[in-house]
């Protein structure tokens, strides 16, 4: 289903963090959100996940106001890999990934065979199967991030939101997990919205880029149309060159000091 933001505004202590954002997010696309620190990217994610509510405007999902969905229903529609994940209780890795199946398990029920099979497959694909019995409190930051990614994939939702989800990962694991997200789009007509700090990573994976600046959308559209030196200069205030790289088969950005 599609998201639609209509003149959405949100402020902290009188400061506009999201300021009149209007955009439609259609199914079957990989969206990238890029912009400088403090421009409203994570707040927009919080609004889409209903961690916060708009102070003005509306957010629709499937044509229905987001606030009308129950938390359980919404958890079957939207999965999030957050920027930071903290857990103080020493759960086993397998149990954390199984948490992604909770929206589908009846109250006081137990995971089904299908739940167990799906979790096992996701753990294998995200390269965390070998640590299934380890305690999540004993993992490195990168290992923990892969576990949280696996939990989101186990949720098996049509919408996957990644908030700088690969920032703690080495390049190999980052590419592996973004490849899994991209397959959700290409094979299952799912939707991915990912916040990136690395513009080249965004260019390699995203069909559609959303540039944010000072709480507003500065530009958005097909990656090959909006990823330009002018847009980068406007949003980040740096000089850049954008070209097609034959090795990666994607646009590539280099910067001048």
What digits encode the pLDDT tens for the residues 198-247? 999 999 999 999 999 999 999 999 999 999 999 999 999 999 999 999 99
Asked if residue 70 belongs to a domain, the reply is yes
Between CA 104 and CA 97 the distance in angstroms is 14
Sheet holding 64-65, edge to edge: 15-25, 3-12, 56-61, 64-65
Give the model's confidence band at 30: pLDDT under 50 very low, under 70 low, under 90 confident, else very high: very high
Over 20-68, what HEC string results?
A: EEEEEECCCCEEEEECCCCCCHHHHHHHHCCCCCCCEEEEEECCEEHHH
Q: pLDDT tens for residues 125-176?
A: 999 999 999 999 999 888 999 999 999 999 999 999 999 998 888 999 999 9
175 and 216 both lie in a single domain: yes
Asked if residue 114 belongs to a domain, the reply is yes
Sheet holding 30-34, edge to edge: 78-81, 159-163, 191-195, 30-34, 208-213, 216-222
Which tops the pLDDT comparison, 84 or 74? 74
187 and 132 both lie in a single domain: no
Of 104, 125, 156, the residue that ends a domain is: 156
Instruction: Provide the number of structural domains found in the chain.
Output: 2
In this model, does residue 188 exceed pLDDT 80?
no
Residue 152: domain span: 91-156
DSSP 92: B
7 and 61 both lie in a single domain: yes
161 and 203 both lie in a single domain: yes
161 and 64 both lie in a single domain: yes
pLDDT given at position 44: 94
Q: Please state, for a pLDDT cut of 70, what percent of the chain lies above it.
A: 100
163 and 194 both lie in a single domain: yes
Asked if residue 178 belongs to a domain, the reply is yes
54 and 2 both lie in a single domain: yes
168 and 56 both lie in a single domain: yes
Between CA 7 and CA 21 the distance in angstroms is 5
Asked if residue 254 belongs to a domain, the reply is no
Asked if residue 249 belongs to a domain, the reply is no
Nearest to 18 by CA among 57, 63, 60: 57
Helices (H), the chain: 41-48, 71-75, 93-98, 113-125, 141-154, 171-188, 199-205, 223-226, 229-236
Q: How confident is the model over 44-48, as a mean pLDDT?
A: 94
Q: How confident is the model over 67-79, as a mean pLDDT?
A: 94
Asked if residue 165 belongs to a domain, the reply is yes
Asked if residue 22 belongs to a domain, the reply is yes
Give the model's confidence band at 10: pLDDT under 50 very low, under 70 low, under 90 confident, else very high: very high
Contact 191, 176 (CB under 8 A): no
72 and 163 both lie in a single domain: yes
In this model, does residue 1 exceed pLDDT 80?
no
pLDDT given at position 220: 96
Contact 149, 127 (CB under 8 A): no
152 and 205 both lie in a single domain: no
Q: How confident is the model over 62-73, as a mean pLDDT?
A: 92
User: In this structure, what CATH number is given to the domain that contains residue 27?
Assistant: 3.40.50.300
6 and 114 both lie in a single domain: no
Of 102, 128, 156, the residue that ends a domain is: 156
Q: pLDDT tens for residues 80-126?
A: 999 877 777 889 999 999 999 999 998 878 989 999 999 999 999 99
3-state secondary structure of 112: coil
60 and 185 both lie in a single domain: yes
pLDDT given at position 89: 85
Asked if residue 256 belongs to a domain, the reply is no
């Amino acid at each position: 289903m599609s998201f639609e933001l209509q003149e959405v505004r949100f402020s902290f202590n009188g400061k506009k963090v999201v300021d009149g954002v209007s955009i439609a997010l259609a199914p079957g696309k990989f969206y990238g959100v890029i912009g400088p620190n403090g421009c409203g990217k994570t707040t927009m994610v919080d609004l889409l996940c209903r961690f916060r509510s708009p102070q003005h405007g509306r957010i629709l999902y499937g044509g229905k106001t987001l606030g009308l969905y129950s938390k359980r229903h919404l958890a079957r529609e939207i999965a999030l890999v957050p920027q930071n994940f903290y857990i103080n209780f020493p759960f086993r890795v397998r149990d954390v990934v199984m948490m992604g199946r909770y929206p589908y398990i009846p109250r006081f029920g137990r995971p089904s065979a299908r739940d167990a099979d799906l979790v096992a497959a996701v753990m294998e694909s995200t390269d965390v199967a070998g640590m299934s019995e380890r305690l999540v409190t004993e993992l490195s930051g990168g290992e923990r991030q892969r576990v949280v990614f696996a939990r989101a994939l186990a949720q098996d939702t049509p919408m996957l939101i990644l908030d700088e989800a690969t920032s703690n990962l080495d390049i190999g694991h980052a590419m592996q997990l973004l490849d899994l997200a991209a397959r959700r789009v290409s094979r299952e007509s799912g939707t991915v919205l990912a916040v990136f700090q690395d513009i080249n990573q965004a260019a390699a994976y995203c069909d559609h880029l959303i540039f944010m600046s000072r709480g507003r959308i500065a530009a958005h559209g097909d990656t090959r149309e909006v990823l330009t030196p002018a847009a980068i200069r406007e949003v980040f205030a740096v000089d850049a060159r954008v070209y097609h790289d034959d090795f990666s088969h994607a646009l590539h950005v280099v910067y001048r000091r």
